[in-house]
Amino acid sequence: MTVADPLQRARTLMQMRRPAEAERELRGLLAQEPQHTTAHAFLALALVEQGSVAEAVAEAHEAVGLAPEQWFTHYAAGQVHYRARRPAEAMAAINASLDLEPEYAPTWELLARTQMLTGQWPQVAEAARRGLAIDPQDADLASLLALALTHLGDAEQARAAAAHAVQLDPESATAHLVYGHAALACGDPRTAADAFREVLRLDPGFDQARDLLVTALKQRNPLYRGLARLRGRFRGGWWQVFLLPAVPPLIAVFVLIAVLHWAAWVAEAWTTLRLARAKATRLLFEGTETRVAVLGCCLVAVGAALLVLGVALGQDAIGTAGVAVMALVTPVQEAVHTGSARGRAVLYGWTALLGLAIVTSVVLTSVATALLGVYAGLATIWVAAGVRRVLGSEG
């Protein structure tokens, strides 16, 4: 058995996504040849795949220390730092590799991916183009270029690049995913939905594609699409609250923004419920999504019934409480769509307080309390924005 045999086996095992077995091969090789540079580099990659970041970084530094003049050791170090989500260290290693060997397309791909971590989309596009100049048949580079162009707002060029990526590798889930992104950016949710379905056919466990497919299916609804566009255009900012004493007419703007958001959340609930009940799409939705959609629709129905009852009985408190119940759609949806667990807990608590205030307004027949519930419910979009700003990075 030659020393090349365990190294080749390790490479094959890495390609098969079996890093633990690759690690055993590489450690056996290093026991025979402790100074084997390539073995140290591949061992670093095998370790970071298993989540052993500190040990992987140590092995990468060992490889670079043994052969700083070899581009591959720097490339491997860049891979380790990238997978460990250390963009600054990854960039330094990648640039060192490119200084030694600028004609290796995968290094440009790694550079693009690293720049993507920090949202440097113009640099991502440039790195992808440099890589494609070396290897025009690389579907991953074409996909990265398309994704960068999508984020830069060049939807048509992004769609062309994504279509090229799909043409280069029709079996690439990433290429179809990026094509779906570009189609959404172009305002073509039907094509985007087809692309995301193809992603799920190729990789059924691709959760991001599942979420995007749901988004695309919802955007096929003209009402949902129009309300979502208006909501995005008239979001406003929490800082505008301080302008109200100086510019009272801004109150009308705030009311318009809040009502648009409420209408969009109602459309979200209705569209989700409709898709969750359809045979072709019901498996795309988890139980939580369906329950929240049912709750949102029920809040509208119960609130409308209370409003009608209040008008029929001449009870202003009951009618206003009905409007407040309908307004609860906003806090419920904002809570569910908050990524931070602590943020969700805060918003669920806020929703519970609003519900208690509505019940109190009915018991005490207090129109003022019910009206306060209406305003507070609709204004939850700014409460939620503040919660996400403070707790968005916390799990």
| Rounded mean pLDDT, 190-195 | 89
Q: Classify the phi-psi angles of 236: left when phi > 0, otherwise alpha if psi is within -120 to 50, otherwise beta.
A: left
Angle 375-329-350 (CA atoms, 0-180°, nearest 5)?
Answer: 65
Distance between CA atoms of 144 and 175, rounded to whole angstroms? 9
Same domain, 179 and 287: no
Condensed to tens digits (0 to 9), the pLDDT of residues 203-260 reads: 877 777 877 876 787 677 666 666 666 555 555 454 555 555 555 565 676 777 788 8
Asked whether residue 114 is domain-assigned, the answer is yes
Asked whether residue 211 is domain-assigned, the answer is no
Distance between CA atoms of 148 and 122, rounded to whole angstroms? 7
pLDDT(329) > 90: yes
Same domain, 172 and 27: yes
Distance between CA atoms of 316 and 314, rounded to whole angstroms? 6
The whole-angstrom distance between residue 217's C-alpha and the CA centroid of its chain comes to 17
User: Residue 204 has what pLDDT?
Assistant: 79
Condensed to tens digits (0 to 9), the pLDDT of residues 105-138 reads: 999 999 999 999 999 999 999 999 999 999 999 9
Helix 105-117 vs helix 139-151: angle between axes, to the nearest 10 degrees?
A: 30
| Rounded mean pLDDT, 165-191 | 92
Query: Where in the sequence is the domain holding 270, given as residue range(s)?
Result: 229-391
pLDDT category, 286, cuts 50, 70, 90?
low
pLDDT category, 278, cuts 50, 70, 90?
confident
Asked whether residue 16 is domain-assigned, the answer is yes
Domain end point (choices 131, 159, 184): 184
Q: Is the dihedral of CA 355, 359, 362, 365 positive or negative?
A: negative
Burial class (CB in 10 A: 0-12, 13-18, 19+), 108: buried
Q: Residue 302 to residues 57, 68, 262, 298: CA-CA distances in angstroms?
A: 58, 70, 16, 6
pLDDT category, 3, cuts 50, 70, 90?
very low
Same domain, 240 and 134: no
User: Residue 1 has what pLDDT?
Assistant: 38
User: Residue 308 has what pLDDT?
Assistant: 95
Asked whether residue 109 is domain-assigned, the answer is yes
User: Residue 363 has what pLDDT?
Assistant: 93
Tokens representing 314 are: 């001449």
Distance between CA atoms of 206 and 229, rounded to whole angstroms? 27
Distance between CA atoms of 384 and 389, rounded to whole angstroms? 8
* Residue pair 325/299 in contact by the 8 Å Cβ criterion: yes
Same domain, 134 and 70: yes
Same domain, 133 and 54: yes
Burial track 165-189 (b if 16+ CB lie within 10 A, e otherwise):
bbebbeebbbbbbbbbbbbbbeebb
**Gyration radius from the chain CA atoms:** 27
Residues contacting residue 363 through CB under 8 Å, at least 6 positions apart: none
The closest of 260, 358, 374, 345 to 318, measured between CA atoms, is: 358
Residue of higher predicted confidence among 382 and 80: 80
Q: How far apart are the first and last CA of the chain?
A: 50
Tokens representing 363 are: 């018991």
Same domain, 175 and 310: no
Residue type for 372, please?
A: L
User: Residue 272 has what pLDDT?
Assistant: 80
pTM of the model: 0.65
* Count of domains for the chain: 2
Asked whether residue 214 is domain-assigned, the answer is no
Domain end point (choices 128, 155, 184): 184
Distance between CA atoms of 304 and 270, rounded to whole angstroms? 16
Same domain, 27 and 158: yes
Same domain, 261 and 343: yes
Same domain, 378 and 314: yes
Residues contacting residue 205 through CB under 8 Å, at least 6 positions apart: none
Same domain, 164 and 255: no
Same domain, 273 and 154: no
Same domain, 241 and 367: yes
Asked whether residue 345 is domain-assigned, the answer is yes
pLDDT(79) > 70: yes
* Residue pair 59/44 in contact by the 8 Å Cβ criterion: yes
Specify the CATH number for the domain of residue 132: 1.25.40.10
**Average pLDDT, rounded, for the chain:** 86
Asked whether residue 375 is domain-assigned, the answer is yes
Domain end point (choices 184, 215, 249): 184
Tokens representing 142 are: 């074409």
* Residue pair 163/179 in contact by the 8 Å Cβ criterion: yes
Residue type for 5, please?
A: D
